[in-house]
Amino acid sequence: MGQITIVGLGPGDFGLITLDTWDKITNTDKLILRTAIHPTVAELDKRNVVYTSCDEFYEQGASFDDVYNSIAQKLIEEAKNGHDVVYAVPGSPLVAERTVVIIRQKAREAGVKLNIMPGMSFMEVLYQRLNIDPIDGLTILDACDLENLPSEMPSALVITQVYNQHVASDTKLTLMENYPEDYPVTFIRNLSLPDEEIREIPLYELDRQPHIDHLTSLYIGKMPKNEQTFDLEPLEDVVKTLRSPGGCPWDIVQTHKSLRRNLIEEVYEVIEAIDLEDEKLLCEELGDLLMQIVFHARMAEEAKLFSMQDVIDGITEKLIRRHPHVFGDVDVKDAGEVLANWEAIKQAEKTERTSILDGVPKDLPSLMAAYKLQHKAAKVGFDWPDIDPVWDKLEEELRELEEAIVDGQKEKIEEELGDVLFTIVNISRFLKIDPEVALTGTNRKFRRRFSYIEKKVKAKQQNWESLSLIDLDELWQEAKLKDEK
């Protein structure tokens, strides 16, 4: 009895056939192709490789199952008659090749030795073209096996061998039972060949594509589970109730000005959650911040000034307007050009601003305001060429501060200390460090280390008054060492 060796002809480009496969198909007396309708076959003809194909079964079979079973039976009979058969399939024999599944079963039942060699499938090319990784989840199905499609597809989906318009139509109708009719699908044809097509289309247009043939496949991204529309209405309703007669007495008397501090505090709590990398806390704090925004919009609506919808529409239009490289026909090379365009558009919109320094809120925290003022001045060339002279400036400001301290004039000391801080902000700008973020981190570090000292003092049942600065410094050093581990 002979044996069957199954090899793959690759996705289409002759250079993607493995060396082992080439050795097998050029050193056999019995090479049988599943189909001769494959780009690689033209290269076999050029190299005078002798083969037969199973294309006749496609003309005779009433269904693909009939065709595949007939091919499998032919190979088993050849092996039983003592022939060592090399059976070549498009792509890889181990990826979405229905005949291999049937041959494996029939060979086992008939006691025929079967050897399946690895080969390159169109999937490897697909991963590269679509920039996807199968580790994120991927299901591969033959177009004739879509009855196995689960009602809730848990992963992205690849459908192979969408042979013709009829198969494409059946595929579309089956998919529309699980996906919206306008769901985006990627139409793929002649992958790895010079005339390859990769286009995103809505599902309902699948069978309207020209040139659908045996080298046509589909990629369908994972559909978000329980996809929901974003809805602010529940929160708006709660705030409206709180502000209505009979609602909360505290909420009813609030104004834009009375809630200023609350808004600022919520922003800093969001920043703290980000710095702590605490996703649960960040979700909570973003909710608190959103409530503040909805609350202010509600008060404005009550005063017939604007509504929450006006807020959303305004920021949406602004984002579209300031991203012409995304929503328009402007080309950009990198993030630097994006920022330059943004500033140019912003300047054209803010016609009421007459000074270069306009646009820095007067209530901004001082470190942040200093950073923004310097940044705006730097845009028009009012800046040091590099960081070296800034260090000299810092030394100068420190000397002036020392002199003011000697003179003992409080106003002058305050002014010179401000100059020192302003110069330090300049240094942070050259170092590309946000001074507000840096100082916030130091404050948090101080709080953490001081809390350690407090716990130690409490644990030893000591009184603060009995501890010298040397004692406290020793505890500080302990906290510092613990922090650095």
76 in Cβ contact with 106 (< 8 Å): yes
Distance CA 257, CA 470 (A): 47
**What pLDDT sits at residue 353?**
64
Share of the chain residues as helix, strand and coil, in percent rounded to the nearest 5? 55, 10, 35
146, two tokens: 């879509």
Burial pattern 176-207, b for ≥16 Cβ within 10 A else e, equals: eebbeeeeebbbbbbbbeeebeeeeeebeebb
Supply the pLDDT for residue 228.
44
Query: Distance between CA atoms of 124 and 12, rounded to whole angstroms?
Result: 12
Parts of the chain with a pLDDT under 50: 227-229
CA–CA separation, 225 and 219 (whole Å): 18
Report which of 60, 155, 71, 158 is spatially closest to residue 107, judged by C-alpha positions: 71
* Kind plus residue range of the DSSP H or E element containing 127: helix 122-130
Classify domain 366-433 by CATH number: 1.10.287.1080
Would you say the C-alpha torsion 140, 145, 146, 152 has a positive or negative sign? Answer: negative
Q: Are 25 and 40 a contacting pair, CB within 8 Å?
A: no
- β pairing state of 156-160 and 52-53: unpaired
Interacting residues of 426 by C-beta distance below 8 A, sequence separation 6+: 374, 384, 390, 393
Name the residue among 261, 281, 257 with its Cα closest to residue 271: 281
Residue 447's nearest CA partner among 285, 276, 283 is 276
58's enclosing H/E stretch is helix 55-60
Q: How far is CA 83 from CA 8, 56, 79, 100, in A?
A: 20, 21, 5, 18
CATH fold of 3-119 reads Cobalt-precorrin-4 Transmethylase; domain 1 (3.40.1010)
- pLDDT score recorded for residue 107: 93
Determine the pLDDT at residue 229: 46
Pairwise CA distance, residues 453 & 456, whole Å: 5
Distance of CA 261 to the CA centre of its chain: 35
User: Are 387 and 427 a contacting pair, CB within 8 Å?
Assistant: yes
Query: 65 CB contacts (<8 Å, ≥6 apart)?
Result: 144
What CATH number has the domain spanning 233-349? 1.10.287.1080
The whole-number pLDDT of residue 286 equals 95
pLDDT per position as a tens digit, 79-136: 999 999 999 998 899 887 889 999 999 999 999 999 999 998 888 888 888 988 888 8
141 Cβ contact list (under 8 Å, min separation 6): 96, 148, 149, 157, 158, 159, 160
Q: Looking at domain 123-220, which CATH architecture does it have?
A: 2-Layer Sandwich (3.30)
pLDDT tens-digit map of 40-94? 899 899 999 999 999 999 888 888 889 999 999 999 999 999 999 999 998 899 8
Q: Judge whether 425 and 435 are in contact, CB under 8 Å.
A: yes
How big is the CA angle at 105 (ends 104 and 109), to the nearest 5 degrees?
Answer: 115
Length of the chain: 485
CA distances from 364 to 373, 416, 452 (A): 11, 21, 32
Place of tokens 């505290």: 250
- Claim: this prediction has a pTM higher than 0.75: no
What is the per-residue DSSP string for 174-212? HHTTTS-TT-EEEEEESTTSTT-EEEEEEGGGGGG-TT-
Strand ranges of the sheet holding 52-53, from the earlier edge strand across to the other edge = 52-53, 31-33, 85-89, 3-8, 113-116
